[in-house]
């Protein structure tokens, strides 16, 4: 591990509107190779936190140290499925930020795009229109786009939501690979079982409820304070967060 | 042969018709290239509104001694800037903001035309298009617009593509999507001004929406869509001029009739195979 975190958030507060308080006093650090599960109810501050980390949301107080621009993997439902782009076109969008407007995408970047699709198991679908792919395949294309960005930190917004079991397993294997090569992943999720497999868990309910290793953080008490009425406790070790926005 | 010549070639023999022909062929370039983005980015309503927004500018141009293109452009850019500001916070829906701008422009135009200034045939001509009014300046303006549209299509392709595909994550890709969006709106306003004389402020959609919307029914890839849209806009333009000359009507309405009919036929033909495929098998067809 290097001597510095790739993300450091200290006493962060802010929201979409001044005084809104979508986030209050959030503190955490992320080190290279760590997988962080971000648990929060709907409206609990996950999106606000991600937008702040992406530099898209001015915050009222606190600081964010993020030496490199993170990559962002949105929920696949937010993409226009009727747009005339192939899987490779979408993956290559990851190279837009480093290519001046007057230059064509380099052949090296095209190779990186194809390699990224190969890595997520979609080399044979590179020419397929994005809208014709299954939900799981579309999610993998968006992950390939983040790989092309070559960012040390990747933010993922509920990447397994609405994804079939085979694609979910594949995606979790990709996460393990990325972590092994030193990339840090912040994964917004409602899946408490998935959160238990991460290195750290950040629980938000507008304010920060807890941050730490899953075996310490994922107690029934913390989950209750995070999800409130949205939490269903099945037994001492199992709880389910109800995602009212799940597709 | 003589009959064919009289029917197809003779209508284009007059110099003003040849100028009009050159104008619609040049307009086909931005019509197809920008039109593809207008359809893909769902800006057809905005394009219509940008034409209508020119109305007050056209009314005041004569009395103020200004070129109508300049006053129309000012109105169009004013609409684009206003929409960009109104929708920045996402509290106002784009379509609602466009509707507001459209109604305001029409109201101001009507008040100016009926109460403050004498609006003569010049305004009518710019609202519905003309064949005889096209001058060399209009043709040069359209040629310039064609070059600008082609240049913008190369320079702004990435922000337009990323911003249209997923606006929420475009910025995280390092793309200046908001600036790209504003430039697209401004470019459409400019294109509308260039098309005023030929098709009229109220019918600009016939060149910037109909050909691309028709091509979109058939073509999936962006480059194919743009090439087909340019070709279709050119073909519809030539046919529209011919019809306008034969029927002695403005080119705008003639283009609208041809473009609308072609869209309807294409949509019908695209829907037909699906209906045949979905139809139940005839009784007794299965063993």
* Residue ranges of domains in chain B, CATH in brackets: 16-269 (1.10.3470.10)
The C-alpha angle A119, A125, A126, rounded to 5 degrees, equals 75
ipTM value of the model? 0.82
- Separation in Å, CA of A149 to nearest CA in chain B: 8
Judge: B221–A84 Cβ closer than 8 Å, yes or no.
Answer: yes
Cα B206 from Cα B221, distance rounded (Å) = 22
Chain B residues touching chain A at CB-CB below 8 Å: 40, 155-156, 158, 161-162, 164-166, 168-169, 171-175, 220-222, 225
With cut-offs at 50, 70 and 90, classify the pLDDT of residue B275: low
**Would you say B24 and B230 are in contact if contact means Cβ atoms under 8 Å apart?**
no
Judge: A56–B165 Cβ closer than 8 Å, yes or no.
Answer: no
DSSP H helical ranges for B156-221: 157-165, 167-170, 177-199, 205-208, 210-216
- CA B258 remoteness from chain centre: 14
Q: pLDDT value at position B24?
A: 92
- CB contacts, 8 Å: B155 with chain A: 101-102
Q: Which residue has the higher pLDDT, A161 or A116?
A: A116
- Mean pLDDT throughout B225-240? 96
Judge: A74–B166 Cβ closer than 8 Å, yes or no.
Answer: yes
Cα B135 from Cα B121, distance rounded (Å) = 17
Q: pLDDT value at position B8?
A: 81
**Would you say B63 and B117 are in contact if contact means Cβ atoms under 8 Å apart?**
yes
pLDDT at B88 over 80: no
Q: pLDDT value at position B286?
A: 43
- CB contacts, 8 Å: B161 with chain A: 83, 85, 89, 93
Q: pLDDT value at position B118?
A: 66
What is the residue-wise DSSP string for B68-107?
HHHHHHHHHHHHHHHHHHHTTTSSS-HHHHHHHHHHHHHH
Most B CBs within 10 A among A51, A55, A93, hence the mutation to make, goes to A93
Q: pLDDT value at position B218?
A: 93
pLDDT at A247 over 80: no
CB-based contact, A128 to chain B, within 8 Å: no
pLDDT at A242 over 70: no
φ, ψ at A241 (rounded to 5°): -90, 130
Judge: A84–B222 Cβ closer than 8 Å, yes or no.
Answer: yes
CB-based contact, A96 to chain B, within 8 Å: yes
Q: pLDDT value at position B287?
A: 35
Comparing alpha-carbon positions, the chain B residue that sits nearest to A102 is B155
Q: pLDDT value at position A211?
A: 94
Judge: B165–A74 Cβ closer than 8 Å, yes or no.
Answer: no
Domains in chain A, start-ordered, CATH in brackets? 7-241 (3.40.50.300)
Judge: B40–A70 Cβ closer than 8 Å, yes or no.
Answer: no
pLDDT at B273 over 80: no
CB-based contact, A127 to chain B, within 8 Å: no
According to the per-residue pLDDT averaged within each range, which of A122-131, B248-257, B266-275 is highest? A122-131
- CB contacts, 8 Å: A93 with chain B: 158, 161-162, 165, 173, 175
Q: What is the mean pLDDT of chain A?
A: 87
Q: pLDDT value at position B92?
A: 75
Most A CBs within 10 A among B155, B165, B177, B220, hence the mutation to make, goes to B165
Report which of A5, A6, A22, A3 is spatially closest to residue A14, judged by C-alpha positions.
A22
Percent of chain A topping pLDDT 70: 89
Comparing A151-165, A222-236, B137-151, the range with the smallest average pLDDT is A222-236
Question: Which 5-24 residues of chain A touch chain B by CB within 8 A?
Answer: none
- CB contacts, 8 Å: B220 with chain A: 84, 129
Judge: A149–B173 Cβ closer than 8 Å, yes or no.
Answer: yes
With cut-offs at 50, 70 and 90, classify the pLDDT of residue A163: confident
Instruction: Tell me the CA end-to-end span of chain A in Å, nearest whole number.
Output: 38
- CB contacts, 8 Å: B166 with chain A: 74, 78-80
Tokens of B79: 């609409």
**Would you say B263 and B255 are in contact if contact means Cβ atoms under 8 Å apart?**
no
- Mean pLDDT throughout B140-151? 94
- CB contacts, 8 Å: A72 with chain B: 169, 172
**Would you say A35 and A198 are in contact if contact means Cβ atoms under 8 Å apart?**
yes
With cut-offs at 50, 70 and 90, classify the pLDDT of residue A23: confident
- Mean pLDDT throughout B119-142? 76
Comparing A61-70, B123-132, B205-214, B228-237, the range with the smallest average pLDDT is B123-132
Judge: A85–B165 Cβ closer than 8 Å, yes or no.
Answer: yes
Cα A184 from Cα A207, distance rounded (Å) = 23
Judge: A74–B175 Cβ closer than 8 Å, yes or no.
Answer: no
- Separation in Å, CA of A173 to nearest CA in chain B: 24
Q: pLDDT digits over B258-272, tens only?
A: 999 999 999 999 887
φ, ψ at B162 (rounded to 5°): -65, -40
Judge: B172–A99 Cβ closer than 8 Å, yes or no.
Answer: no
Most A CBs within 10 A among B41, B166, B180, B215, hence the mutation to make, goes to B166
With cut-offs at 50, 70 and 90, classify the pLDDT of residue A43: confident
Cα B99 from Cα B95, distance rounded (Å) = 6
């Amino acid at each position: 591990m290097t001597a510095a975190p790739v993300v450091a958030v200290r006493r962060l507060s802010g929201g979409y509107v001044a005084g809104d308080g979508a986030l209050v006093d959030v503190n955490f650090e992320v080190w290279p190779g760590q997988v962080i599960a971000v648990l929060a109810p709907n409206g609990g501050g996950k999106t606000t936190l991600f937008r702040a980390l992406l530099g898209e949301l001015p915050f009222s107080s606190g600081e964010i140290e993020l030496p490199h621009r993170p990559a962002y993997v949105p929920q696949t439902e937010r993409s226009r499925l009727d747009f005339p782009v192939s899987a490779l076109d979408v993956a290559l969008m990851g190279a837009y930020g480093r290519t001046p407007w007057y230059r064509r995408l380099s052949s090296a970047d095209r190779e990186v795009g194809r390699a990224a699709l190969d890595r997520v198991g979609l080399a044979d679908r590179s020419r397929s229109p994005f809208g014709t792919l299954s939900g799981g395949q579309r999610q993998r294309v968006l992950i390939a786009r983040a790989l092309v960005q070559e960012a040390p930190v990747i933010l993922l917004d509920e990447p397994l939501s609405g994804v079939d079991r085979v694609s979910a397993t594949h995606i979790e294997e990709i996460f393990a690979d990325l972590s092994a090569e030193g990339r840090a992943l912040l994964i917004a999720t409602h899946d408490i079982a998935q959160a238990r497999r991460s290195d750290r868990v950040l629980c938000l309910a507008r304010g920060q409820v807890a941050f730490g290793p899953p075996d310490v953080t994922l107690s029934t008490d913390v989950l209750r304070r995070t999800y409130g009425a949205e939490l269903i406790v099945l037994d001492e070790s199992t709880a389910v967060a109800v995602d009212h926005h799940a597709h | 042969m003589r009959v064919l010549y009289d029917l197809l070639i003779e209508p284009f023999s007059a110099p003003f018709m040849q100028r009009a022909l050159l104008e619609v062929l040049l307009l086909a370039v931005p019509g197809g290239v920008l039109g593809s983005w207008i359809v893909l980015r769902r800006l057809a309503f905005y394009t219509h509104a940008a034409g209508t927004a020119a109305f007050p500018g056209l009314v005041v141009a004569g009395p103020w001694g200004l070129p109508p293109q300049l006053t129309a452009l000012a109105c169009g850019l004013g609409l684009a800037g206003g929409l960009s500001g109104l929708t920045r916070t996402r509290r106002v829906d784009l379509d609602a903001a466009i509707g507001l701008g459209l109604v305001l422009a029409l109201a101001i135009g009507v008040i100016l035309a009926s109460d403050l200034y004498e609006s003569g045939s010049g305004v009518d001509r710019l609202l519905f298009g003309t064949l005889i009014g096209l001058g060399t300046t209009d043709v040069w303006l359209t040629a310039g617009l064609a070059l600008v549209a082609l240049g913008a299509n190369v320079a702004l392709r990435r922000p337009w593509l990323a911003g249209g595909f997923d606006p929420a994550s475009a910025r995280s890709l390092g793309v200046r999507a908001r600036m790209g969006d504003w430039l697209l709106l401004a470019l459409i306003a400019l294109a509308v001004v260039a098309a005023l004389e030929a098709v009229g402020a109220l019918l600009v959609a016939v060149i910037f929406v109909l050909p691309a919307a028709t091509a979109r029914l058939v073509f999936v890839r962006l480059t194919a869509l743009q090439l087909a849209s340019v070709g279709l806009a050119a073909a519809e333009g030539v046919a529209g001029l011919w019809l306008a000359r034969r029927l002695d009507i403005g080119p705008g309405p003639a283009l609208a009739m041809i473009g609308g009919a072609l869209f309807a036929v294409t949509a019908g033909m695209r829907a037909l195979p699906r209906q045949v495929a979905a139809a139940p098998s005839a009784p007794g067809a299965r063993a």
